Amino acid sequence: MATLTVLLALLLFQFPSPGKPGLDPSWEMVLVYAHRHALQFGRDIAFTYGPYGFLTSRFYYDGVPLVKILWESTGKLVLAATLVAMAASNFSSWFRFGLFYLGLIFAAKISSDIVIFLCTPLLALCWLLPPKSKSWQVAVALTWMAFLAQVRFNYFIQALVAIGLVIPSLLLERKSKKLLVIVSSFTAGFVFLWLVAGQAINNLPAYFRSSWEISNGYLAAMAVNRVPITTWCIAAGICLLVVAFILSLLRSQNLRAEKWILLYFCCAWYFIWKYGVTRADTGHIVLFFPTAFVFCAAAPGLFQRRHWWSFLDASLLLSLAGLWLFNSGFLRHTPLELAQRLHAVPGELFRSKRQAQRFAAAEAAMEKAHPSKNLGAIVGGETIDVINFDQYFVLREHLNYWPRPVFQSYSAYTPALLKQNLRFYQSSSAPQFVFARLQSVDWRFPAQDDSLLLEELPRRYSITKEANDFLLLHRKPVQPTGGLLREKFPMRHVSFGQEIELPETVNCAVELRAIFRPSIYGAARAFLVQPAEVSLVLTDGKQGQHTGRLIPEMAAAGFLVQPLLESDKDFADFMAARPGRSVRSIRFEPVSATGNCWSQISIQFSKLPELPFGPATAD
């Protein structure tokens, strides 16, 4: 068992890379910054990760701290030992243990995040929920669950559901003492680790509220479908096998004893399914298949069965087939990459000085490849924020980064999150400078991201530096009182494909609010798979058409449709009140014939007289 533990730990080990420009590296660097500067989650930071999220970051800057090295070495060794011990104590046959361990190796080779994601569900199913679990097994499970709950908010939800099922199960068995010990231990462990991370206890309500809002908003705002139909068919086949396995357990003679385990098993599979198919792109679908492999390999061993095999084992072949069809290189190169990894990791672990030198050299090469924006000469020691993302350019210059709560604009998914960022900029805590770019993700219409804040910027900031790829904004010495004035037009209903003329205005900007009400089918589709996508098509003054993805939740808060904001030049013209590109009409289009997913579309235009706009003469 010791050899298996060490082998798994070596594959889980992941030495971070130097930070670089881009969306994912930037938010991972922000988590590191938040740890180093003791930013408060819930108050200063609203994100899907918690105060220990920096431990899973793949990108660091200014070296790698000891706590990260300890997590990657000692922490993951303990995690590997826990998983191996858990499997050995629950799987009676070596066949089941071997399949599960093979899945862990397979998953760890692709990404250690898969194993961490599965840790809470597996511990809950194997050690927390079974009534015959030993005290030390329950204690180990609760310890890991309390810790992982502060790595990522999704892991907290996984743990909360498990604890929520423990409560009625023990109440019905009249084991109130055991129930009290479990609930109090998890709560105490969570609070203790929260305080150890330097977080204030009074931030917990704000942390739960904002993290729930952003995690819930993610499901609708970040859903994409970028995989072929064959991949979807294989994923659906795995799901059907899991459903059939669940139905077969409902007929089991042991159902009464295993009903709470089965109920959490259903919840855990839903987590895994949504984890893989919500964002069905290359990065996530590659994670889904090994995740399904590990979970389905473990599933038959979680329940009392007479046979050492199960028809659910067919899902393991489907998982491999799905990965092969989507990207055969992941499987074809696995043996060689495993050997190379096992050869390289010991050197990284035991030659820390050499590894630090390599990191410093790689960091210097990255800085040379991406020249500095020379922001420090202007900003000095003043506070600075970044819109939309690419915090790399601010963090690499060691500026006084002071982020708004939802620190990357594309992830302000809901009206509540948009308003939270707006309130921050309206307060005395707002940064003195803003490094701004008009950018977005997933082919979105850019003006949606932080739309309320975007409308507020010209009132509170002016351009201090204008470059080809960014603006540096400086906070005005005199700030406006009160909110942005809106002259609202009546709300009206529209339909897909209908050309909607913008209202006549006198040289001022126009805001659009759009409320999409899903049909019963649309709501069911969103819950089970993905929400339907909607496109916004704008027709400009030259009859040119501009198409971007529309996020219904964000559109409900309102965003600018006049002037046309599509590039950094458009944004600069808007901030400087220069003539810009005008929009004559808009229309909504369903993506992939999904119009039946929506029952009603309501819109409302508003004139914004405080934001002057004059169309360019070419219009």
CATH topology assigned to domain 487-612: Jelly Rolls (2.60.120)
Instruction: Give residues with Cβ within 8 angstroms of 282, minimum separation 6.
Output: 226, 227, 326, 327
Length of the chain: 619
Q: How far is CA 483 from the centre of its chain?
A: 31
For residues 301 and 92, give the distance between their C-alpha atoms in angstroms, rounded to a whole number. 7
618: pLDDT strictly greater than 80: no
Please answer whether residues 588 and 568 qualify as being in contact, where contact means their C-beta atoms are separated by less than 8 angstroms: no
User: How many CA atoms within 13 Å lie on the side-chain side of 403?
Assistant: 32
304: pLDDT strictly greater than 80: no
Q: Which of the four pLDDT bands, split at 50, 70 and 90, describes residue 137?
A: very high
211: pLDDT strictly greater than 90: yes
Q: Residue 307 is which amino acid?
A: H
Per-residue pLDDT tens over the stretch 33-77: 999 999 999 999 999 999 999 999 999 999 999 999 999 999 999
Give the model's pLDDT for residue 492: 97
Give the model's pLDDT for residue 406: 98
Judging by DSSP bridges, how do beta strands 545-550 and 534-540 pair with one another? antiparallel
User: How many CA atoms within 13 Å lie on the side-chain side of 366?
Assistant: 20
Per-residue pLDDT tens over the stretch 367-412: 999 999 999 999 999 999 999 899 999 999 999 999 999 999 999 9
Per-residue pLDDT tens over the stretch 411-436: 999 999 999 999 999 999 999 999 99
For residues 550 and 445, give the distance between their C-alpha atoms in angstroms, rounded to a whole number. 6
Give the model's pLDDT for residue 29: 97
Alpha helices (H) in 404-484, listed in sequence order: 415-426, 451-460
Q: Which of the four pLDDT bands, split at 50, 70 and 90, describes residue 305?
A: low
348: pLDDT strictly greater than 80: no
Beta-ladder partners of 549:
444, 535
Percent of the chain with pLDDT over 70: 99
The SS3 assignment for 472 reads strand
Mean pLDDT of the chain: 94
Give the model's pLDDT for residue 307: 67
For residues 559 and 447, give the distance between their C-alpha atoms in angstroms, rounded to a whole number. 6
Picking from 104, 223, 344, the residue whose alpha carbon sits closest to that of residue 591 is: 223
Domain boundaries, the chain: 91-332, 376-475, 487-612
Picking from 586, 571, 549, the residue whose alpha carbon sits closest to that of residue 445 is: 549
Long-range contacts of 396-404 (CB under 8 A, 24+ apart): 396/19, 396/61, 396/367, 396/372, 397/372, 397/373, 398/62, 399/375, 401/33, 402/429, 402/431, 403/30, 403/39, 403/44, 403/45, 404/453
Q: Which of the four pLDDT bands, split at 50, 70 and 90, describes residue 338?
A: confident
In the sheet where 471-475 sits, what is the strand order? 400-401, 383-387, 433-436, 471-475, 461-466
